[in-house]
Copies of this chain bind each other. A is one copy, B any other.
Amino acid sequence: MPELTYREAVRDALARALREDESVFLMGEDIAEMGGSMAVTQGLLAEFGPKRIRNTPISEIAIVGSGIGAAIQGMRPVVEIMYEDFLTLSMEQLVNQAAKHRTMSGGQVTVPLTIRTQGGAGWSPGAQHAQQLEAWFVHVPGLKVVFASTPEDARGLLWSSIYDDNPVVFFEHRTLYPLKGDVPDRLEPIPLGKARVHREGEDVTVVATGRLVHEALKAAEEAGTEGISVEVVDPRTLQPLDEETIVASVRKTTRCVTAHEAVVRGGFGAELAAVIQHGAFDWLDAPIERVGAKFAPLPFAPAMEQWVVPHAEDVLEAIRRTVARG
């Protein structure tokens, strides 16, 4: 099985879809000659030409909005918003238009649009280039939300997102791009709405997304040396959410930690905690612990930045706290 980086895996999904299907095309800022600010789309211009790999002006409203219009006409556009912080400019089109056209039209219209974006802290991007905003979109009926944490997942989930007939917001994490992993030669679409159990365990379930999946796996390893057996589950699709797998895991382990890089308050971990406390109430032996960023805009100086966002140690501490209970 060949090894691809997370970056290459995303690119591979895009390239294959572009190759097989004339209705797929890309739009975004600096995705052509430059290959994207994260080098994800490198080489695609050469293979597919400027009609299908479209550099856009700095117009986040129009990028998403024109993607919607093209999607309604039967195309499958994949648009890129360079940093998810700039999704703040596209919210109207995403939330009021893409998510609602189908319902408002009584089922006449479908919007098979994929919005790729990325973000995350690391190497001091500062407060306006590092947010993790996936929780907002989970609150919007009509959108699907994906957050891939491994090369294999990134490719299989992006493929499914492109071929889903609904608008999908597809989150990538900036620090994961160089991450390597086995990815099968044959592209296996990964169905949206299916969690992945990364590691089985008996004592605590960590439900983690994005970069924190890897931090959770490190923490689990460490916890193992302390005699704590940790199960790590990545929902991968945040909406629709695989509640069944997650709740079953916590019913088994009886303890739970949620972990993401986004701010804890109002984050996706809140939704997870609400679902889990409901579904596994009689099984839980400790309160669900939430790990995430502290409540502050991300400062520049590395020491402050690293303090704000969570790491493996934070997950480990939460695991210990939850085990220490009763």
Q: Which residues of A contact B (CB under 8 A)?
A: 85-86, 88-89, 91-92, 94-96, 99-100, 103-104, 126-128, 131, 133, 135-136, 138-142, 239, 241, 262-263, 265-271, 273-274, 277-279, 281, 284, 286-290, 295-297, 299-300, 325
Contacts and interface: CB of A to CB of B under 8 A. Distances in A.
Q: What 8 A-B pairs are tightest by C-beta distance, nearest first?
A: A139-B266, A273-B274, A281-B287, A88-B91, A88-B92, A270-B270, A138-B266, A103-B297
Contact of A287 (B91, B265, B270, B278): B278
Given A103-B299, A278-B289, A267 B88 contact: no
B281 A286 contact: yes
8 contacts: A89-B91, A103-B296, A135-B139, A136-B139, A136-B266, A266-B271, A270-B274, A273-B273
A287 B280 CA distance: 9
A133 B68 CA distance: 22
Contact of A142 (B267, B271, B297): B297
Contact of A141 (B103, B241, B263): B263
Nearest to A86: B92
Contacts of A241: 265
A89 to B, nearest CB: 5
Contacts of A274: 269-270, 273-274, 277, 288, 290
A141 B91 contact: no
